[in-house]
A and B are shown apart, each in its own frame.
Chain A
C-alpha cells in the first residue's frame, strides 16, 4: 500500500506542480493573483478537444495549436482587462474572477455542459512495484520536472530571466535601472499562461473536458501556492507533492472518506500556515522583497 501511496502522490503532485508554477511566476513578478489561470487551462483543453474530435487530428497537433492560442488569448485579455487595473490588487482579483467566469460561460455556450474527453498522447500503462501507471501520467510527471528545469534555466541564464527576477525583487528599482517593468510583466503573463495551456494539454487526456473543470484545480493550486509560499516557485513544487501525498494517503487509508481528500489536503495547508504563516518557502515581510 505504501508504494501505491507514493506513486499516486507523485502523479497527483505533478499535476498540481505544473499548475502552481505558472501561477507563482505571475504572482512573484507582477503581483497578480490570477484566478483565471486554471480557466486558461480549461480553454486549452477545449481547443485540444476541438482539434482532435472535430478535425480528427492527433492530440499533439491539438497541443501545438492550443498552447500558442491560449497564450495569445491570455496576453490580449491581460492587456485589455488586467493591465489598466494592475495597481489595484482587489480590482485585479475581482477582474480575474470575472474573466474566468466569462471564459467558462463562453465554453458552456459553445460546447454545452456535456462531458467530453481526448485520447492520450501515448496509450496504455506500465506496472511499477505492482502499481499500474498510465504512460500519460508518466508524461505529466516528466513534464513537471522538465518545466521546472526549463524555467530555472530561463530565470538564471537569460537576460529575460534576469529582468523577471529583478522585477520580482523590486519593481521600482528595476524600473530605475532601465527595465521596462510593464513589458516584463506582459512577458511573464505570457509564459505563465503558456504554462497553464501546456498543463491543460498534458493533463487533458487524464481528465474530463467540461466548462467547470477549472474550479477544482484552482482550489488545489491556490492551496499549493499558499502552502509553498506566495510567489515561490520552489515552494510551489514541494507543496504540490505534499498535497498530492495527502490526497493519496486519504484514499488508501480511509476508503469511505475518499471524497474528503481535497478537504484533508486543505486542512494540512491550514495547519502548516498556523505554524509558518509565510508558507514553506515564503518571505516573511513584504519589505524583504
Chain B
C-alpha cells in the first residue's frame, strides 16, 4: 500500500504564467590551479576561503564506454567495490570515517566516467584525501568482495531495471542508434549483462582496477576552504607513491547522423500500456548545438507547462505521461542521444501517439519557440547553475565536467555563456537539423501478448 504515498508526493499541476525578463548576471568566477603529479594524477585546486567546507572529488576516466564485448557491467560494479575497504581502511570504514567527521559522501557511474566525492568540514579534508588515495592504491579486490558486490549489482538490476516497466526499454533506446561494430562504447547498456557478470572472474576485475583505477586515469578536484600549498603537499604525500598505470586503450565511436529512419518494436515484460520512444542522435556535449538542444528539451518536455505535456498529455489526453531526456547516461565525448518518451493512454493507438509527438516536434522545428519560453529555459538553467555553485561539491562537479568534456577546467567559467548566447533561431535550427525523421529511431514498446483473465 506504500505505493499510494508515492502518488501523493507527485500530485499538483500548475498552469503556466508569464516569466520576467532575462538579465545578464554572472556567477562568481571560479579560481583554478591545475597541475599533475609524476604518476599522471591530474589535480585541480579551487580554493575558496569564503566557505568552511572542502569537497574532495575524484573522477576516474572509466565508464561503460570502456567496456569490451563479454565484459560489460564492470564500470558499474566498481561503484560498489570502492567501499569494500583497502589496506588500511576496513570494509565500510570510508563511509564511517566521513560521517564521524560530520561529512557527507556518494559516487556514481555513467557512460564516460565514474565519480566519488565527499564534502567535509575544512579541518578534515586531509582525511578525505587520504581515504581517496587509500582506495586508489590498495582497494581490496578479493574473491569474497567481488562475489558479494556482484550479487548486490544483480539484485539491483533485477529490482531497479528488470522489474520496472519501461526502464529496460528506455535504456535500450539510449543504445539503439549505435552500431555495436563501430561504436560498442555507446551501443551496450551501462548496467551490463547478467551473463557477463556471471562469467567474470576476480582476475578480470583486478585487471580492470589496475588499468582504469590508476592515477594517470584520474582527476582529483578540491574545492573550498583549504590552503593551496598545504593541499599540494598532502596530495604529494598521499598520492605520489601510487604507481602510474598503463595508458588505457583509446575509445572510438563512429556513428552516422541521418542514417535513415529506423523503427523497432520491443516487448516490455512489465508494461501494460504501449509507449513510444523517439530517439534522436545528437552531437557530443561540447558541440555548440548541444547547448541549444538542452534548452530545447526543457521547452519541449520539462515540467507541466512543457509543450509535449500540454499538447499531448493534457489537451489531447493521448498520453499518461511524457518525458524528454538528453544524455541520460551521462554526457558523451562522442555522439549522444535525445529521447522523447510518451506512454499511451488507454485506447490510444501507438500510431496516433507517434503522429502527435512528431507533430509537436515538427511544429517547434517550423515555428520555433517564443521569447518567453526561451527566457524561462535560460532562467532555469542559470538559476540551477548558480545555486549549485553555492555548494563546494556541485562546483567540483562543474569543474570536472568542464575538464572532461569541454577541454579544460577553465571552461567552467565560460560555460554559462554557451547557453545564454543561444537565440530563437538556434533553437529552430537544431530542431530542424536533429529532430528529424531520418535522424530518428522510433521504438514502439509493447506490452507482452498473452491471455488475460
Indicate whether A and B interact: no
